[in-house]
Structure 1
Amino acid sequence: MRLKHLTAGLLALCATQAWADAQQSIRQSLDQLNFPLAVTTISETPVEGLYQIQLENGRVIYGSGDGKYLVQGALIAVNDGQPRNLTAEVEAKAIGEVINGIPTKDLVVFAPAQPKTHITVFTDVDCGYCRKLHEEIGELNELGIEVRYAAFPRAGTDSKTAEVMRSVWCAEDRQAAMTRAKQGKSVTRVTCENPVTGQYELGAQVGVQGTPAIFLANGTLVPGYKPAQALAQEAIANQ
């Protein structure tokens, strides 16, 4: 019995050392590449010799234990014909933490009296489907969905749209200014310290490629417009 316990302990020690060596090798490889994003954690995967590299923006890549190979893509677990996208599950959780960490004071929030859950929408005031979604803000609120807008001017932070969005964020009444902008009406030009550029950069980091980009409370991305009833059902189911 003592030999069995000793063997188990040695195996655990070897596994721990292998994991530590893999972390060091992977981090060295990323440093050599001047990788642009910080690594938050490196952990084992169900695949022997393959390690999960969690990035600060919530995204995941994979690396071999010797650090010589990096892999970007989805890791799918095949469970008796019932596939699970392990990468998507991990990324959604991490991205949800990033998105939900944006202070609400830096967002344009349309909140119901008794919210059931919330969505965070990276939006552009000139985007047609963003405007269509905004027309349903009242219905979403009635269904218990708090809508939090983050800025994502598609033409970039030096565009006229970005200038309008800065005025929205600097307005005394952000909700009214956002509604005017989404209706194609003029917004009084105002300047202040604002989060538009930071939110645009964050959106790019978490994979926003178009607007509206809707993140549910659990970090799941709903790309593009979805009618209020369907969106509310999905938001409540994925809190």
Structure 2
Amino acid sequence: MKMKSVTQVLIATGFLALTACSASADNSISQLKQKLAKQLPGREITSINTTPMKGIYEVVIAKRQIVYTDAKGEYILAGDMIDLAKKSSLTEQRTAELQKTDFSKLPLEQAFKEVRGDGSRVLAVFSDPDCPYCKRLERESLNGITNVTIYTFLMPLSIHPDAERKSKVIWCAADKQAAWSNFMLKDQMLEGKSDCENPVEKNMKLAETLGISGTPALIFKSGQIVSGAIPKEQIEQLLAAK
């Protein structure tokens, strides 16, 4: 289901004040930002925005993390802001918006691809060969999904000691997709060289810039990033999203 942005929710409910021409409101937020910047040294205050709760402001830190503060910047609240009437998390919706990326700018040369059916839809997946949830994604969630081109970015996690070697063996294989599928779907042992030029380190840095810290992480054409072995039905819905 397509999630509305916090701004859309606020406009729809009448909580968002028209402050574009209000110098006093702009100055108030500017002063609040300056104060928080001093109180949170080393943390980038990306933006501060109004919320439906009177006197409570949304604070975006380092472009991705959301916390809340009072009008004087004396307190910080961490957690979800819930719209009880709609039974939805405004924080979750806003976080998903902040995490969006431009699919067309992904360095697809750092991934290997699998074309299913006509390949008309696109999906990027950051995955670790030793991640059990990645195997669940491959065996269950992606099973049967067609008319899609899947780009797999190998992203071995440090908690899996042999994942980096396996990732490099997969990349060095003559048929990367076949090596990946045989291991993830059939548990076939990986054999071969692992010393070819590979993008594993670049993928780790890319994941960091995208705010991806775990696997699997899926990126859809809409730019939405979703973590975890989500159900097949949800993948289909997100593949259809504009």
* TM surpasses 0.5: yes
| Post-superposition offset of 1:88 | 1.3
* Counterpart residue type for residue 18 of structure 1: S
* Counterpart residue type for residue 145 of structure 1: V
* Counterpart residue type for residue 146 of structure 1: T
Match of 1:175 in 2: 177
Contact 1:212 1:225 in 2 (8 A): no
* Counterpart residue type for residue 26 of structure 1: L
Match of 2:228 in 1: 223
| Post-superposition offset of 1:13 | 2.1
Match of 2:195 in 1: 190
**Whole-angstrom distance in 1 between the partners of 2:216 and 2:49:** 33
The 1:201/1:19 distance shift into structure 2, 3 A limit, reads closer
1:1-239 alignment runs, 5 A limit: 12-31=22-41, 34-35=42-43, 38-56=44-62, 58-78=64-84, 81-97=85-101, 101-112=105-116, 114-135=118-139, 139-140=144-145, 142=146, 144-156=147-159, 159-171=161-173, 173-182=175-184, 183-188=187-192, 189-192=194-197, 194=199, 195-199=202-206, 201=208, 205-206=211-212, 208=214, 211-218=215-222, 219=224, 221=226, 223-224=228-229, 226-227=231-232, 230-239=233-242
Deviation track 1:129-159 (CA, whole Å, cap 9, x = no partner) reads 423433465732x2x33323233434448x2
RMSD: 3.4
Contact 1:151 1:199 in 2 (8 A): no
Deviation track 1:19-68 (CA, whole Å, cap 9, x = no partner) reads 1111111222221xx33xx4432222222332222244633222333332
* Counterpart residue type for residue 233 of structure 1: E
**Whole-angstrom distance in 2 between the partners of 1:98 and 1:72:** 28
Match of 2:11 in 1: none
SS of the aligned residue for 2:163 comes to helix
**Whole-angstrom distance in 2 between the partners of 1:165 and 1:233:** 27
The 1:156/1:84 distance shift into structure 2, 3 A limit, reads same
Q: Unaligned regions of 5+ residues in structure 1, if any?
A: 1-7
Contact 1:116 1:236 in 2 (8 A): no
**Whole-angstrom distance in 2 between the partners of 1:40 and 1:171:** 43
The 1:187/1:94 distance shift into structure 2, 3 A limit, reads farther
Q: Unaligned regions of 5+ residues in structure 2, if any?
A: 1-17
* Counterpart residue type for residue 135 of structure 2: R
SS of the aligned residue for 1:150 comes to strand
TM-score (norm 1): 0.71
Give aligned-pair identity as a percent.
Answer: 18
Matched length: 217
Contact 1:123 1:150 in 2 (8 A): yes
Contact 1:129 1:224 in 2 (8 A): yes
Whichever structure has more helix as a proportion of its residues is: 1
**Whole-angstrom distance in 1 between the partners of 2:133 and 2:217:** 10
Contact 2:59 2:67 in 1 (8 A): yes
Contact 2:117 2:148 in 1 (8 A): no
Point out 4+ residue stretches in structure 1 off by more than 6 angstroms: none
SS of the aligned residue for 2:189 comes to coil
| Post-superposition offset of 1:161 | 1.0
| Post-superposition offset of 1:18 | 0.6
Contact 1:119 1:235 in 2 (8 A): no
| Post-superposition offset of 1:193 | 5.1
Deviates more, 1:87-96 or 1:49-58: 49-58
